[in-house]
Amino acid sequence: MITVDHLLLKIVNFTGPTIEEIMPSRDSRVLHSLATAVGTHYFITESQSKLLLKILKEHREKIAENCEEVVHALELPTWSKNFRKVEQVKKFFIGKNSSDDLTLFVEFTFSANFRKIIQNSAKHIEALVMVSPGKSYQADLTEKNIVVLCDLLLPLDFEVDELIKNHYETIKSWKKSTFQDQFLISNMPGNNFQKTITEDLGLSTTIDKNIINDRSVRYQYFTEKPEKTGNSLVEYIANRPQPRLWIDSTIHTVDDVITSLIALRRFPLLVVFPNWLPQKLQENMVILTDSLEKNNIADSVGIYFRMDNDPQGKIFNQLIAEKKYNTQLDNTTQVVGIQTGKLPKFLIKNDWTPMSVISFDANLRYNKAALYTNCCDLVITYSEAPTVLEMRIK
């Protein structure tokens, strides 16, 4: 009785009709590929043999018209060689990336299932990058990534590096409450806290609960924050869980935001304007000017960009000139305005640092302005809808 692999070689060599005339091109291409594999000393794998049998069975009747041996060969399949053994790789280890930095690596023999599992968890893994399609990934070496990936891969019988296991067990042994309580404001030495806040705000400032909650992001301590902040924008800003915050422009005016920042002693202020839609840019400038004047901020303002000198741009540039918003940058400057992606060099060289940032409809993520604002613990996106970044960290 002919073996299945010898039958395959016979079928792909049909001349009339050819294999391409017997079956769809997709199946004929697979059989040609498998015929090449069986002709080598590596032979084929067990999974490839199952695919071969499946295709032959689907086209058995047409093949039998030119080769009756296919009927008997498929009744009790036999093979001329043993199947090629495929090494099953499933590893999770620490290595060095192309920049020579220590990185977490996940490697496995190609598996659509493993790939799907990792991709479904991608949003929980920091800086996950696919190195080789479907079989190799890398991610930042962080405590969070170690826990997420170990929880994901250990049940799948991955070979996990002992160093990672040790880190994992140590991290899992930590109790959040134990560490959080150390930095709970009620447990912190009062003298040090008062000194730090006083240096920040000045001796004359009344330190209320909102200011204490607001500065928790800046100084990395915990407070017993309320579950609901009500309708107060001041409380909403003060009780933010992270530096970035979205404020709905359809509900709150710029005046509301400026007033809240003043209440929280959040000046000086950096305002970031978008690069597109000149008319929208001018509208935002008018709104900002009106809000600053309502809050008695008429000087110490520097808008460090200009529009093209066309009819639309002239109105914008003239407004800045009339309001004298061209103050030289120094430590007394209260408000600075720039465009996203265009960061003046003197802003980097100067000691001036914003206490808060308002971004008008601008996605502060992958540009120079975004990098600069990372120094600030309050970055507000003021728009009708949150950006993808705000939705992700919400």
Per-residue pLDDT tens digits for 255-294:
999 999 999 999 999 999 988 778 888 899 999 999 999 9
For the chain, what is the HEC assignment? CCCHHHHHHHHHCCCCCCHHHHCCHHHHHHHHHHHHHHCCCCCCCHHHHHHHHHHHHHCHHHHHCCCCHHHHHHHCCCCCCCCCCCCCCEEEEEEECCCCCEEEEEEECCCHHHHHHHHHCHHHCCCCEEEECCCEEEEECCHHHHHHHHHHHHHHCCEECHHHHHHHHHHHHCCHHHHHHHCEHHHCCHHHHHHHHHHHHCCCCCCCHHHHHHHHHHHCCECCCCCCCCCCHHHHHHCCCCCEEEEECCCCCHHHHHHHHHHCCCCCEEEEECCCCHHHHHHHHHHHHHHHHHCCCCCCEEECCCCCCCHHHHHHHHHHHHHCCECCCCCCCCEEEEECCECCHHHHHCCCCCCEEEEECCCCCCCHHHHHHCCCCCEEEEECCCCHHHHHHC
370: which residues sit within 8 A by CB, 6+ positions away?
340, 364
pLDDT bin (cut points 50, 70, 90) of residue 392 is very low
pTM of the model: 0.58
pLDDT, residue 29, reads 93
Q: What is the mean pLDDT of the segment spanning 78-100?
A: 87
Residue 82 lies in a domain: no
User: Is 61 found in the same domain as 120?
Assistant: no
Q: What CATH number is given to the structural domain containing 165?
A: 3.30.780
Residue ending a domain, choose from 75, 99, 123: 75
pLDDT, residue 188, reads 61
Q: Using CA atoms, how far apart are residues 148 and 156, in angstroms rounded to an integer? A: 13
Residue 80 lies in a domain: no
User: Is 151 found in the same domain as 46?
Assistant: no
User: Is 130 found in the same domain as 49?
Assistant: no
Q: Using CA atoms, how far apart are residues 151 and 157, in angstroms rounded to an integer? A: 11
User: Is 137 found in the same domain as 9?
Assistant: no
The larger pLDDT score, comparing residue 98 to residue 347, is at 347
Give how many domains the chain has, as a whole number. Answer: 4
Q: Which of 52-61, 242-251, 368-377 has the lowest mean pLDDT?
A: 368-377
Residue 235 lies in a domain: no
User: Is 195 found in the same domain as 169?
Assistant: no
In the block, which residue shows the tokens 């800003």?
A: 237
| Single-letter amino acid code for the residue at 118 | I
Burial of 45 (0-12, 13-18, 19+ CB in 10 A): middle
User: Is 358 found in the same domain as 270?
Assistant: yes
User: Is 263 found in the same domain as 331?
Assistant: yes
Would you say residue 103 has pLDDT above 60?
A: yes
Residue 112 lies in a domain: yes
Residue 237 lies in a domain: no
Q: Using CA atoms, how far apart are residues 313 and 260, in angstroms rounded to an integer? A: 31
- CA pseudo-torsion sign 374, 380, 386, 390: positive
Q: Using CA atoms, how far apart are residues 245 and 378, in angstroms rounded to an integer? A: 7
Q: What CATH number is given to the structural domain containing 359?
A: 3.40.50
pLDDT, residue 341, reads 80
Residue 81 lies in a domain: no
User: Is 190 found in the same domain as 141?
Assistant: no
Q: Can you give the residue range of the structural domain that contains 190?
A: 176-230
User: Is 379 found in the same domain as 251?
Assistant: yes
Residue ending a domain, choose from 75, 100, 123: 75
In this structure, are residues 62 and 22 in contact, taking their beta carbons and an 8 Å threshold? yes
Residue ending a domain, choose from 174, 195, 218: 174
pLDDT, residue 15, reads 80
User: Is 269 found in the same domain as 197?
Assistant: no
Residue 225 lies in a domain: yes
User: Is 225 found in the same domain as 180?
Assistant: yes
User: Is 52 found in the same domain as 167?
Assistant: no
Residue 129 lies in a domain: yes
In the block, which residue shows the tokens 């560490």?
A: 179
